[in-house]
């Protein structure tokens, strides 16, 4: 009993599977829109944590420098007083040298402090920008998730319908054809579980096949697989 009609059903099944694949790709693309935004938010979240840590450190540094600067100012004031009251040249020289050292330290401290304050300002402004983005995109994400969910559901409805059609077609296949298709499909679902013999080769994996295999296959009376890729070989007559 030739299997031609069953093979024809398989060809239709494979074409429906390709339609399913397109819907699955749409789903993947839709879901990637959500993933993309989520990824962006996670990235910003991490940057925010780092920035906050950095500003805490900077804040500590700034306070330390401010206090060191205050101490230097006090020391300079005291040294200035002493200088005015200095009686010997030696004493004056020592105090002047001390004052000069401290003034050098003071200006270095001031420079570093200004640097840190500028840095802090930049970081605080970045924190504000990122916080704004995270807040704004939270709403966007919810809307997007809802929109994507709607699209995915619609795609899944179509997929379920196509799967139903596949099951109906499988049901009308002769049992051995059905069994063999399921076997080939387990290995090659959405990747062409069916193959044709063209110029003595499997048209999918290109392995050379002997005439002793191709002749019975083309008669439509035999069910067999490509010995290399495991796809189910179908006769050309089933394509008509």
Q: Which residues bind Zn ion (CB under 5 A)?
A: 202, 204-205, 226, 228-229
Q: How far is the CB of 13 from Zn ion (least distance, A)?
A: 18
Contact predicate 150/142, CB 8 Å: no
Q: How far is the CB of 222 from Zn ion (least distance, A)?
A: 16
Nearer to Zn ion, 109 or 194 (CB): 194
- Phi and psi of 194, rounded to 5°? -105, 145
Nearer to Zn ion, 161 or 198 (CB): 198
- List C-alpha distances in Å: 95 to 70, 72, 89, 113: 19, 14, 10, 26
Nearer to Zn ion, 72 or 204 (CB): 204
Q: Which helix (H) or strand (E) holds 178?
A: helix 175-188
Q: How far is the CB of 5 from Zn ion (least distance, A)?
A: 24
User: Is the Cα torsion angle 75, 77, 79, 82 positive or negative in sign?
Assistant: negative
Nearer to Zn ion, 27 or 213 (CB): 213
Q: How far is the CB of 19 from Zn ion (least distance, A)?
A: 24
């Amino acid at each position: 009993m030739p299997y031609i009609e069953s093979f024809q059903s398989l060809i239709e099944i494979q074409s429906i599977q390709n339609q399913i694949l397109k819907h699955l790709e749409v789903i993947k693309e839709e879901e990637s829109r959500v993933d993309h935004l989520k990824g962006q938010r996670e990235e910003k979240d991490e940057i925010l944590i780092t920035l906050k840590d950095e500003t805490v450190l900077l804040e500590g540094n700034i306070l330390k420098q401010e206090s060191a600067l205050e101490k230097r100012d006090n020391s300079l004031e005291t040294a200035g007083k002493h200088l005015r009251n200095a009686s010997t040249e030696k004493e004056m020289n020592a105090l002047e040298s001390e004052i000069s050292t401290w003034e050098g330290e003071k200006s270095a401290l001031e420079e570093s402090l200004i640097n840190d304050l500028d840095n802090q300002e930049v970081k605080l402004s970045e924190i504000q920008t990122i916080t704004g983005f995270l807040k704004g995109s939270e709403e966007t994400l919810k809307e997007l998730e809802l929109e994507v969910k709607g699209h995915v559901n619609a795609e899944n409805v179509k997929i379920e319908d196509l799967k139903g059609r596949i099951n109906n077609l499988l049901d009308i296949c002769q049992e051995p054809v059905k069994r063999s298709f399921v076997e080939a499909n387990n290995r090659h679902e959405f990747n062409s579980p069916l193959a044709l013999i063209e110029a003595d080769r499997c048209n999918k994996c290109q392995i050379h096949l002997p005439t002793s295999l191709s002749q019975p296959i083309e008669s439509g009376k035999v069910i067999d697989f490509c010995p290399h890729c495991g796809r189910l070989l179908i006769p050309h007559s089933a394509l008509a």
